[in-house]
C-alpha cells in the first residue's frame, strides 16, 4: 500500500478533510525520515524526539528539502531515554505545548551496546529500548487519549525469539548483567511485545491502538557496536550479501508506516512485512504479559504516578 493511500485511510478514520491538526511524535530513528515526511506533508505536524538535537535538526532540514509543499510543522525536541528525569521533563514539556497526539512511535533503540548502568541504575539496553519507552508512553497516555483516534507503535525485532523465560526475569535483579549483549537486546525487544500486548488489553474500549512492529534487517547505523559490522573491512566484505539480503531504510520503515496508517483497527498485534504475524510463544503468552507489566510497574514505581498508569 502506498503512503498516500495510507494517508487516505487515516483521514477516513479520523473523519478529517486533511491531516492538519494531527500530531505524530516519533523517537528517531527508524529508517527513512523522508518517508515520514511524505506521510505528514498534508498538514500534520511531527515531533522528532532525539538524544542528539543536531541530528534531529538535520532530519528536519532533510524532510523540508525533499518533501515538496510540506505544510505541517516539525518540532525537534531533546529526549534521552537513558535518563528518567529527562523523559519526565520531556513529557511535561510536550503536555504544556500540545493538547493531543495522534501517534507515538517508539523507535529509538540500541543494539549490542556495551553493558553498563544508566544514571537511574538500569542496564543501558533495557532502559533505552524498553523501560524508557514504557515510562514515556505512560506519561503521554493522556494526550493520546485526547485524540479522536490514536496509535502507539513499539518497534521490536525478530531478536525477541532468542530469549528464554529466565533471561526475561533478569529485570528483577536490578538490571545488572545479561548473558550477552545480544540477549540484552532480545530481552528488551521481547519486553516491548509483552508491553504492547498488555497495554492493548488495558486500553480496550479506548481510542488508542497499540501494536509492535519488526522492521526487518535494515541498513542503518544500529550495528555501530556490533563487531562483525562496525569494522569497515568486515563490513565491506559483507557488502555484496547485504545489498541483496538487507532492506534499504525506505523499505525498512514500510511495516511501521503500515501499522501507523492502516485502516485495520486491530490492537496488541505484532507486524512484520506489513502483516500481522505470530511472535514467539513467550511473547504471545497473556499470563506472562500481565505479570511482566506488573513487574515493570513495580520496578518503575518511583517514576510512575497513579495518574499516568492505566
Ligand X SMILES: NC(=O)c1ccc[n+]([C@@H]2O[C@H](COP(=O)([O-])OP(=O)(O)OC[C@H]3O[C@@H](n4cnc5c(N)ncnc54)[C@H](OP(=O)(O)O)[C@@H]3O)[C@@H](O)[C@H]2O)c1
Which of these, 58, 63, 144, lies nearest to 105 by C-alpha position? 144
β-strand partners of 77: 49
Residue of this chain nearest to ligand X (CB atom):
109
CA 134 to chain centre: 10
35, 45, 91, 128: which one binds ligand X (CB under 6 A): 128
* Closest CB to ligand X among residues 110, 141: 110
Beta strands across the sheet bearing 45-50: 74-78, 45-50, 23-27, 103-106, 150-155, 208-214, 270-272, 275-276
- Is residue 154 a contact residue for ligand X (CB under 6 A)? no
- # residues near ligand X by CB under 6 A: 26
Q: How far is the CB of 8 from ligand X (least distance, A)?
A: 26
Q: Is 51 in the site for ligand X (CB under 6 A)?
A: yes
Give the binding range for ligand X (CB under 6 A) out of 172-180, 214-222, 262-270, 278-286. 214-222
Residues listed for the chain? 310
Which among 30, 194, 186 has a CA at the least distance from the CA of 111?
Answer: 186
Residues designated catalytic: 185
Which three cell numbers mark 214? Answer: 519488526
Please identify, using beta-carbon distances, which residue of 170 and 218 lies nearer to ligand X: 218
Tell me the closest approach of the beta carbon of residue 120 to ligand X, in angstroms. 11
String marking each residue 240-259 x if it binds ligand X according to CB under 6 A: --------------------
Report d(CA 21, CA 16) in Å as an integer. Answer: 9
Candidates 125, 157, 175, 267: give the one binding ligand X (CB under 6 A). Answer: 157
DSSP 3-state assignment of 181? helix
Radius of gyration of the chain (CA): 18
Interface pick for ligand X out of 155, 209, 210, 283 (rule CB under 6 A): 155
Under the rule (CB under 6 A), what is the footprint of ligand X?
Answer: 28-31, 50-52, 55, 79-82, 107-111, 128, 155, 157, 215, 217-218, 220-222
Amino acid at each position: 500500500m502506498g503512503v498516500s493511500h495510507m494517508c487516505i485511510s487515516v483521514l477516513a478514520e479520523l473523519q478529517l478533510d486533511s491531516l492538519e491538526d494531527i500530531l505524530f511524535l516519533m523517537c528517531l530513528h527508524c529508517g527513512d525520515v523522508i518517508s515520514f515526511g511524505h506521510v505528514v506533508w498534508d498538514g500534520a505536524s511531527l515531533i522528532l524526539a532525539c538524544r542528539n538535537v543536531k541530528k534531529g535538526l538535520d532530519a528536519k532540514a532533510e524532510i523540508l528539502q525533499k518533501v515538496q509543499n510540506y505544510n505541517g510543522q516539525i518540532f525537534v525536541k531533546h529526549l534521552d531515554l537513558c535518563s528518567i528525569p529527562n523523559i519526565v521533563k520531556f513529557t511535561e514539556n510536550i503536555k504544556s505545548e500540545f493538547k493531543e497526539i495522534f501517534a507515538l512511535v517508539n523507535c529509538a533503540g540500541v543494539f549490542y551496546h556495551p553493558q553498563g548502568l544508566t544514571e537511574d541504575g538500569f542496564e543501558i539496553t533495557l532502559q533505552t529500548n524498553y523501560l524508557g519507552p514504557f515510562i514515556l508512553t505512560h506519561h503521554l497516555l493522556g494526550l493520546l487519549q485526547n485524540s479522536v483516534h490514536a496509535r502507539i507503535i513499539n518497534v521490536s525485532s525478530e531478536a525477541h525469539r532468542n530469549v528464554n523465560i529466565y533471561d526475561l526475569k533478569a529485570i528483577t535483579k536490578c538490571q545488572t548483567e545479561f548473558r550477552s549483549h545480544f540477549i540484552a537486546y532480545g530481552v528488551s525487544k521481547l519486553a516491548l511485545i509483552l508491553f504492547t500486548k498488555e497495554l492493548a488489553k488495558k486500553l480496550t474500549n479506548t481510542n488508542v491502538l497499540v501494536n509492535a512492529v519488526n522492521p526487518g534487517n535494515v541498513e542503518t547505523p544500529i550495528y555501530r557496536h556490533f563487531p562483525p559490522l562496525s569494522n569497515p573491512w568486515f563490513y565491506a566484505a559483507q557488502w555484496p550479501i547485504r545489498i541483496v539480503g538487507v532492506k534499504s531504510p525506505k523499505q525498512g520503515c514500510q511495516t511501521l508506516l503500515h501499522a501507523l496508517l492502516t485502516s485495520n483497527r486491530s490492537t496488541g498485534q505484532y507486524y512484520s512485512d506489513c502483516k500481522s504475524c505470530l511472535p514467539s510463544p513467550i511473547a504471545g503468552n497473556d499470563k506472562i504479559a500481565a505479570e511482566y507489566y506488573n513487574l515493570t510497574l513495580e520496578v518503575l514505581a518511583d517514576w510512575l504516578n497513579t495518574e499516568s498508569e492505566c
